[in-house]
Structure 1
Amino acid sequence: TSLGESIGTKPIGRNPLGMAIAQMVGVQFSTTTGMQGISAIRPGHDERL
């Protein structure tokens, strides 16, 4: 989190690569969280709970 925050606080013009990496990492986190959310909604997982 601290790494993403430090990258996000830098100006886009001065650190475009850092912003691109931060966006890529954010997309990966969002995709992983989304997959976990979908799997949690499956009936099989609900039966386990």
Structure 2
Amino acid sequence: MAELVGECAGCKKDIYCLDGFLNGVVTKDKEIFCFECIDSNDEKEKNPQS
């Protein structure tokens, strides 16, 4: 079962809860990001020159 939770704060893609598991990440600021956006953000923090 898939329930719409909200949209990604980065790319505006729909984020779903799939059988009880969130298909994304919730930040401390209560924003929801998809895995692709959160991964690219982590890479920018590790390598700010790229």
TM over 0.5: no
Q: Which of these two proteins has the greater Rg computed from alpha carbons?
A: 1
Higher relative contact order (CA 8 A, sep 6+): 2
User: TM-score interval w.r.t. the shorter chain?
Assistant: 0.3 to 0.5
TM-score, normalising length from structure 2?
0.37
More helix by share: 1
More strand by share: 2
TM-score, normalising length from structure 1?
0.37
